[in-house]
Structure formats: C-alpha cells, structure tokens
Structure 1
Amino acid sequence: MPTIEDIFEPHTATASSFSTYEAGDVAYVTNGFKDNGVLGFVAAKPDDRVYEFNGIVLSAFCEATLQIAPYIARGNGGSGLIVLEPKVPLSTATLGYLAAHINTALKWRFNWYRQATTDRIRRLAIPDPIEANVSFPVKEFLPVVSQTKQKKNWEVKFRPFALDELFELASGDYHNAAELPDGDVPLISCGDADNGITRFVSVPPENIYNRKLTIAFNGMNTLTTKYHPYDFATKDDVAICTARSPLKVSTLMFIQLMMAREKWRYSYYRKCFMEKLSRQSVLLPAKKSEVDEETIEIILKSTAYWDGLRSRLE
C-alpha cells in the first residue's frame, strides 16, 4: 500500500482563532466531525493560506474530514490541523473513501498524549486511490455555503420546558420483541444505531405511530431521542411523545438535539422511568412562556445539512 506522503502533500495549517474573523464565504475548518469540521464561514485575512483544492483535513487526533475548496484551517493553540493536498487530482468520492479509511484504520493511533503531526502521519499506509472503485455521491452530502451559514450575532433567550408540558408521554407497547411476527413496520427500541430500529414486525394499526419522537428509558443510551417520520411500533423501553399542540418538524428535531445534552444525567446503572421523564426539562428558545419556533427554524436552517434533511422529514 502507498503511504500518505506518496499520495498527498501535507501542509500545517496556520489560520487564526475563529473569533478573530469577520463573516464571509470561506469555510473555516476546525477539529472534530460536527458539521464536517466547518465551524463557520469567514472572510479570509490577507496572510491566510486559502486552500483552493479539494483535500482532506486532519485534526490533532487524526479526525479526517473531506473539504471542498475554498477553505482555511485552524492552526493556533498548539494542536493545529494538517491539510492533505492530493499530488494528482482525485474525485470527491475517492477523497471521501480515503478519509473514511483514515478514520477507521489509522485514527486509533493518536490521542491527547500522542497527537497527529505531519512527521507522524507521512508514512502511514493508505489504500491506492488508483485501485479504488468508489461511486458513492460524496459531494451531495457535504456542506454548501449559504447566506445563513454565517457568523451571526443575535440574542436568543432560552428557558427550560418540562417534557410533560410539551408532550403527552406514554410507554411503548411491547416488552418482548421476539414474540412479534415478522413484518414491514420498524420496531423502535432504546438503541442508538439505525435510528433505534431493532427489527421489522407486524403489529395491529392501533399500535402504529408516525411522525413522533421516542425517548429511551434505559440501556447505555438513556434519554436518546429519535424522530421517526414514518410508521413505527415501539418496545416498552422507550417513551412515545405526542405533542400537546402542533410543533414544526424543525422544533421536534431541535428538541432531539437538545435532549442529547441531558444524557449525562443517566447511565446503564441509573435508568430513567416515566415519572422522572415527565419532570425532565429541555432548554429551548422562548418568547415569554411559549416555544420560539421561528428562532428554532432559523437556527436549523443555518446548518449546512438542513435542506437535505428536511426533504427526508416532511
């Protein structure tokens, strides 16, 4: 197998802290996978290197993200990024394939105490891109620049809303999934993978739900919240959330995101149950005593993936 330096020319990133930039249309790449590593869109400074090629950006922990030109990459703070420039043109699908390989096969080598540097990553082996046969439409799933994906300064007032204030909460219907006959209705459990779907079953119409949130009571994923824009059935290790008044899809998705911030409260050994869940609150933008759905929709529209996600939800 070739090495990284056989395929790429590594560059050490040099961009300043994100907070020092004005809003613009150049992607600012930082550590992590959130929003594909794009923290926001900025106006590059005169001494910045703006990367005008599609490439791979590695964090200090070897988190690889595929970036589409133009972009700059964070270089300050002692844990700056590494930008991999292809020595010959590579398709976005091939770059995505190589980034996925780095994340699955090489990332484990690095941590807080052994961070990735250009010298450490140069000789790591990666698949030969010439032999890669990749047809997955990677580019369709990458962030795109939009006027809403900018640094914004507006004041959003949050307040906690009890789940019982927003939803009628009910336990799922089935305890033993193995007793249900096979069918075409997704059965939702407390797992995190596959949006909580554990298998496909046949159940009576009165036990089929649609376009609702479920919240896990127990397991390693307690309080994991999932939105299901399709017919589904439930195990009794999740709660079914029926909105007391109509809520926008964007609001439901935002609640799902904000519930993830509360998962630290429970664990496999400290499970949740209906009484606790009804008292659990979620922090949401508010106008006086009401959920500020307009602001929530603006927030979600500012994310790079919302347009594609919304088409699958509505």
Structure 2
Amino acid sequence: MDAIRRRPFLVTLLLLSPATVLMVAFLIAPMLIVIADSLSGRDAYGGIVPGFSLASYAELLQPIYIPIFWNSLQLAAVNTLLCLAIAYPVACFISFRAGRWAPILLVLMLVPFWIDFLIRISAWVVLLGRNGLINAGLSWLGIIDEPLRMLGSYGAVLVGMLYAFLPAAVFPIYAALNPIDRTWLEAARDLGASPTESFWRITFPLSLPGVMAAVLFVFVPSMGVFAIPVLLGGGKSIIIGNLIVQLFLDFRNVPLGSAVAVVLLVFSSIAILLYMRLLRRVEAQRA
C-alpha cells in the first residue's frame, strides 16, 4: 500500500529531475560562485583569495560609485516609461482593432528578434551614424543642413533600449487586454460613459497586471544592460553593466565586480518581490 502511494511521488520526482539538474547547474551554482567571489579577497595579480570579507561591499559605498547606480536607475526608469507610453497604445490596437491580423502583427514584432542581439544593435550604429540613413533622410527633406551627431548621445542609448525592450512591454499588456470581455465596454457605452471614462474605469484597471509585468520585464534588464550604452553611447555614461565588465576584464577585480553583480541581483529580487506583492493586492481588489 505504501509503495502504491509512493509511486506518484517518484514519478513526479523523475519528471522534475532534468529541470532541477539544469537549474542547479546553470542558475544556482553560478549564483553561489558569484556570491562566494564577492566575499573573497584579491591578490596583487587579480586572483581570488578565498576567505570571508565585506571589503568589496564597503568599497561600493564610496562616492565614486553612487553616480553609477543613480545613472543606471535613471536610465532604466526613463526607458521603462517610454516603453509603457508606446507599448500600451500598440497593445490596445492589436487587441481591440487588429482583428484577424493580430497574430500576424505579433509575429512581425518578433521577427527582428530572431537575429542576434549585437547585429541588431550594430544596425542602429549604421542608421544613427553621420552618413547613416536617418541623417540622409533628414538632409533630403531639408530639415538639416549638415549631418547630426547622434551616436554617443543619451538619446541614441534610449532609442536602442526602446527598440530592444519594447516587445517585452507589448506582450504582457496585450495578454492582459485580450481576455477583457468586450460586452463590459458595450455596457459602459450604453450607460452613457465616454470612451475615456470606460478606459479608466474598465480597461486600464483590468490591464493593470499586464502593465505591472511590463514594468518588471523592462526595468530589471534595463538596469544591467551593457552592449547598448557601449555601442550607441560610446561608453560615456558608465552604468552597472559597464562597471561589471570593466571590473572583471580591465581591472581584474573579480571580488568587486562580483559584489556589484550581487547588488544588482538584490535590486532585481526586490523589484520582483514588489511586483508579486502589488499583483496580489490588485487581484484581491478585483476579487
């Protein structure tokens, strides 16, 4: 009898074992290694000295590192707001107006992302260059007399980040808008509500979980992005992603680079916990 009761547990354990092994090998183990390195010392040649020390975390409290974290937070916040401002109307159009074309539009949004990330960002280097297509178009229209210097600017970085993370905002918002019962909107119109009132009282509250997910999916990776500020911004503004790479490769300071990575991991975990807490509160209010 005990063997019969134990059989479903063994079957479940067997089915979960491949995913568990992969998660431990490629997620938990590297994370533990980074945490251990952040608590270790460093010799004169940049090697790891095993031990327990909080010197790397104490060094991050120096004034030189505070602007780097602030720049990362500011860039991620601005990019998140821009993505939401564009993604919400796009998701609304696909959900409410596109009809049978909705799946095609969603696929078309994914097609560029089948190409390697660095190749896509490098294409923006060509487009934003002094002899690029954008400057050529502006000159042909007579808007500018001489080519603009767009590469190496804050705007170029934002354009690249908006391009990279916009689908991460569109899809969760679309997933929240699509199940909304259209008869509720029709009932609101029949009761005399304007389109603006029906949006703020029905559509937006019901899509709020998708908006929160979009904020999470855009803000967290934007904090640690590396290639876009380097290729489009020229590396002028150092953010957390750039700092980690420089500490590991240029300065050979693995403990300090690992400490920065752990701090970024903590920020990301806090953002995820806040999202889960807000989501529970929203679902409780809807219930």
Name the TM-score class by shorter chain.
under 0.3
Structure of larger gyration radius: 2
> Which structure has greater strand proportion?
1
Q: Which has the higher contact order (CA 8 A, sep 6+)?
A: 2
TM-score normalised by structure 2 residue count: 0.22
